[in-house]
Amino acid sequence: MRTLVPALCKLTRLIKLDISLNDIGDPGLECLAAILHHLTAMKVLVLSWTRISDRGISSPIKALPHLVQLQVLDMSSNNIGDSGIVSLVQTLCQPSSLDMKQNPPGDKSLTTAPHYNTTLQKLDIGRNKGVTGAGLGRVAQVISTLPALTRLDMSGPWFTPTHLSDTAAMDLAKALPRLPALEVLNLHRISMEPAGFQAVVLNSEAGKGRQSVKLKPILIQTDQHVMTVVPGNVKCQRTHKQRRLDCA
């Protein structure tokens, strides 16, 4: 990465960078992060399978506010834990730096509405070894401030399912109606109690507080099922060969 980074720094019009399946680790990501703020035209950033951890993820998090055109972010299949994933999503969900200047914390005299991230369409944080159900629960609490999301992957690690408590599942269910563009929610290797699972699948909060916004069908993927959920109209059909349950 130390050899590649100087060349990347000159590509200010670069719109896609895919470094997946390269063992750059935290040191390599730290090198890349140092020049990310120059790549403001970036729309797709893929860093899956690069063996990065919480230590490494802290560096690109600082550069994210500069990537104002980012539409796809893939940080999947790494060694990131709760701290790193939550910090990443919280940064993505924060108002822009301009809004922070217009609305300083604690200043109630300004009424400018904050502009949240309206460009990010696909976010993959799945299959990270250190992420627990508690971490995903914290992600669920803030994810609704990414209104342009069409695809969200929160899958558990490859070999050990991650358990999502009822509280965390309910938080996720409440977030879904606030993501009007969401089409795919990937929950492979995520275990839930019946009550939490039902809340997510049936989207029990759908329609409340949405006024004129129409909720789109959401494709929910789990290890054994693929469900197209339309609130108020759920019909199921199992395809044994593909181990799928289609609901619409």
Tell me how far apart the 2 most distant CA atoms of the chain are, in Å.
61
Question: Any alpha helices (H) in 66-216, and if so which ranges?
Answer: 82-93, 97-102, 133-142, 166-175, 194-202
**How confident is the model at residue 245, as a pLDDT?**
36
Angle at Cα 93 formed by Cα 113 and Cα 15, nearest 5°? 105
pTM of the model as a whole: 0.82
Q: Could you count the other beta carbons within 10 Å of the beta carbon of residue 103?
A: 17
Radius of gyration of the chain (CA): 19
* 132 and 27 co-located in one domain: no
φ, ψ of residue 126 to 5 degrees: the values are -80, 165
* 244 and 127 co-located in one domain: yes
* 59 and 84 co-located in one domain: no
* 80 and 37 co-located in one domain: no
Q: List the CATH number of the domain containing 120.
A: 3.80.10.10
* 80 and 66 co-located in one domain: no
d(CA 32, CA 79): 18
Confidence of residue 222 (pLDDT cuts 50, 70, 90): low
The answer to whether position 236 is within a domain reads yes
The answer to whether position 4 is within a domain reads yes
pLDDT tens for 121-148 read 999 999 999 999 999 999 999 999 999 9
* 79 and 18 co-located in one domain: no
Structure tokens at 129: 């070894």
The answer to whether residues 67 and 96 touch, using CB atoms and an 8 Å cutoff, is: no
The answer to whether residues 151 and 119 touch, using CB atoms and an 8 Å cutoff, is: no
pLDDT tens for 153-172 read 999 998 888 999 999 999 99
Domain count, the chain: 2
Residues of the domain holding 158: 74-92+116-248
* 48 and 129 co-located in one domain: no
* 82 and 186 co-located in one domain: yes
pLDDT tens for 8-67 read 999 999 999 999 999 999 999 999 999 999 999 999 999 999 999 999 999 999 999 999
* 25 and 142 co-located in one domain: no
DSSP H or E run through 184: strand 184-186
* 205 and 87 co-located in one domain: yes
